[in-house]
Chains A and B, each alone.
Chain A
């Protein structure tokens, strides 16, 4: 897959993958659709009504990656994260040296993203520029794409909704800390094979007008993805994906 069409300024990609694995300590043999909730905090998700989706990123990997392959992926994402921090640190500065440094960092990130993309089975990214998604009053993510042909829209799967903010029991749930539950389903066969994704997004940070979530993705049984390599349909995949969501909570 080429990353020529991919926006490397995507903030979501800066620290990918880590969140998808550590929640599993100690282990589970199979992914769960949802952790057993102690409670569901409705007030938090109601506070998100009207928020725009600045970025929603999902990546699914092939099955049976070896330890060195995973190690390489995490090492690349660590570099990506550090580069992003450097870019943040020089934001607003505009000397020739900094312009050059920024260009170098962006170029390195593009290479890393390209390599990561090649290692993925499925990758989608909704951006505020192309997909125009917003959280509706019914607590669903509704999109009115500016660019329906965006190759990174993943077929624009439907958000089943409503969004839920789950406060799990850390003992009985696979996930230990509170998370935002988002369910996406690809039901339109004209856009690709069926898949169902449950995003379990934990609050990472928030700032002036944005909220940033990270987490893992569990995949519904019967899901199929179109191979990045040759376009064939693949029904075998690593059962945990990775996702990030950045919401713009004010205009």
Chain B
């Protein structure tokens, strides 16, 4: 009896993290159930950018604000504002100030999985990830010397109320911008989101007599249960894709000399095209996706995952696992009629990601002891850590995982 491969759902569609699945080819005996629970914890303080460099998540909202930018953002009063600044000796290209701060937080994932053995070599598994994001954001606007001079000038010119209003407007500018854009800003966010549910069949192709080479086929269906608009729009984080999908995974296991085991898995998922509300950046330089298309057309998307693992099972109870995981999502195409094609093009260019990570885990299992009558329930517990190596658009923080599985 063994549990194998079913938890690839964790990182199949949710936020791209250095999560991992302990590879093991096997499924449940006929008529038996299993319940598994995986907990993962990671910081989200930094992530790999589109250029592959790790950077703070805070960078999304850090920006230098020029007087020109202020005027350009107001379609009604832009000319009037420009006139005001120019009349007071302010060059529109000068900095009004900088917006800087920090975003720090954690993501905690909980992935329950229920399995049932249809046949000795065929099992049905269902998983539904729940991700909890805890984010603390702290941003401040720092006025430039030019702005301070302008405010002083206004005050000295019988315009104290104007200076106060302008100062308050600048200091609340980020929150105001996010509020008017409907981005649901919560600087102390602590919220849980469903990921996409997965239904999987596991078909084991047992080893031939006298051989140790076992194989596994795992077709799966992705259900669009994820709802993560606020964190997706604002931070570029996600709990799932929110689309129907289908996929197939293949894995094998081979026993090597000195009790070592080699496990390899490769899987691909296709997510169907869909009409979704999506936020879009105005330009290539705009890190904040502010424009909303409530019905953007998202093309079909492909994801690919592979993992290789060396396992060393100590006698009876303990196994040590070392592995490398690669995840990749190919670029999708976004289209719509609300904005210029260039806007969708910029958003499309940001839909791909990849992440190469390694992991080490230790598993404790009571299965052998149970079979010998010395343990009440067969169970497996595992603790491990996933370490990011290189990537794009993925969290670049280590992931700590705990997993417990019981068989009935």
CB-contact partner of B175 in A30, A75, A171, A214, under 8 A: A171
- A239 nearest in chain B by CB position: B76
Within 8 A of A (CB), among B15-60: none
| Inter-subunit contact A22/B165 (CB<8 Å) | yes
* CA distance in complex: A104, B87 (Å): 23
| Inter-subunit contact A84/B158 (CB<8 Å) | yes
One of B78-86, B225-233, B355-363 contacting the partner:
B78-86
Q: Which residues of B contact A238 (CB under 8 A)?
A: 80
| Inter-subunit contact A31/B179 (CB<8 Å) | no
Determine how close the nearest CB of chain A comes to the CB of B83; give it in whole angstroms: 3
* CA distance in complex: A176, B162 (Å): 11
CB-contact partner of A26 in B73, B79, B162, under 8 A: B73
Determine whether B74 belongs to the interface, using a CB cutoff of 8 Å to chain A.
yes
Determine whether A229 belongs to the interface, using a CB cutoff of 8 Å to chain B.
no
| Inter-subunit contact A24/B84 (CB<8 Å) | no
* CA distance in complex: A193, B211 (Å): 96
Q: Which residues of B contact A19 (CB under 8 A)?
A: 159, 161-162, 165
| Inter-subunit contact A176/B168 (CB<8 Å) | yes
Determine whether A188 belongs to the interface, using a CB cutoff of 8 Å to chain B.
no
| Inter-subunit contact A176/B165 (CB<8 Å) | yes
CB-contact partner of B83 in A24, A73, A239, under 8 A: A73
Determine whether B154 belongs to the interface, using a CB cutoff of 8 Å to chain A.
yes
Q: Which residues of A contact B78 (CB under 8 A)?
A: 27
Q: Which residues of A contact B164 (CB under 8 A)?
A: 177, 202
Within 8 A of A (CB), among B221-244: none
Q: Which residues of A contact B81 (CB under 8 A)?
A: 21-22, 24-25
CB-contact partner of B158 in A14, A29, A65, under 8 A: A14
Within 8 A of A (CB), among B125-155: 154
Determine whether A74 belongs to the interface, using a CB cutoff of 8 Å to chain B.
yes
Q: Which residues of A contact B79 (CB under 8 A)?
A: 65-67, 69-70
- B69 nearest in chain A by CB position: A26
Q: Which residues of B contact A27 (CB under 8 A)?
A: 73-78, 180
Q: Which residues of B contact A23 (CB under 8 A)?
A: 165-166, 169
Within 8 A of B (CB), among A14-52: 14-15, 17-31
Q: With A18-B154, A67-B82 given, is the CB distance from A26 to B166 under 8 Å?
A: no
| Inter-subunit contact B162/A170 (CB<8 Å) | no
Chain B residues with a Cβ closer than 8 Å to the other chain, count: 37
| Inter-subunit contact B88/A170 (CB<8 Å) | no
Determine whether B173 belongs to the interface, using a CB cutoff of 8 Å to chain A.
yes
Determine whether A120 belongs to the interface, using a CB cutoff of 8 Å to chain B.
no
| Inter-subunit contact B87/A177 (CB<8 Å) | no
* CA distance in complex: A238, B81 (Å): 13
Within 8 A of A (CB), among B317-372: none
Q: Which residues of B contact A203 (CB under 8 A)?
A: 161
| Inter-subunit contact B168/A177 (CB<8 Å) | yes
Q: Which residues of B contact A176 (CB under 8 A)?
A: 165, 168-169, 172
* CA distance in complex: A85, B168 (Å): 26
Within 8 A of A (CB), among B167-192: 168-173, 175-177, 179-180
Interface centre among A24, A25, A71 (most CB of B within 10 A): A25
Determine whether B157 belongs to the interface, using a CB cutoff of 8 Å to chain A.
yes
| Inter-subunit contact A170/B176 (CB<8 Å) | yes
30 contacts between A and B (CB under 8 A): A14-B158, A18-B157, A18-B162, A19-B161, A22-B81, A23-B165, A26-B180, A27-B74, A27-B75, A27-B77, A29-B75, A30-B76, A67-B82, A70-B84, A70-B87, A71-B82, A71-B83, A71-B84, A71-B87, A74-B83, A74-B86, A74-B88, A81-B159, A84-B158, A170-B168, A175-B165, A204-B160, A205-B160, A239-B76, A240-B77
Additional A-B contacts beyond A19-B162, A74-B84 (20; CB < 8 A): A15-B159, A22-B81, A22-B84, A22-B165, A24-B74, A25-B81, A25-B166, A26-B73, A26-B177, A28-B180, A65-B83, A67-B82, A67-B83, A71-B83, A71-B86, A171-B179, A177-B164, A203-B161, A205-B158, A214-B159
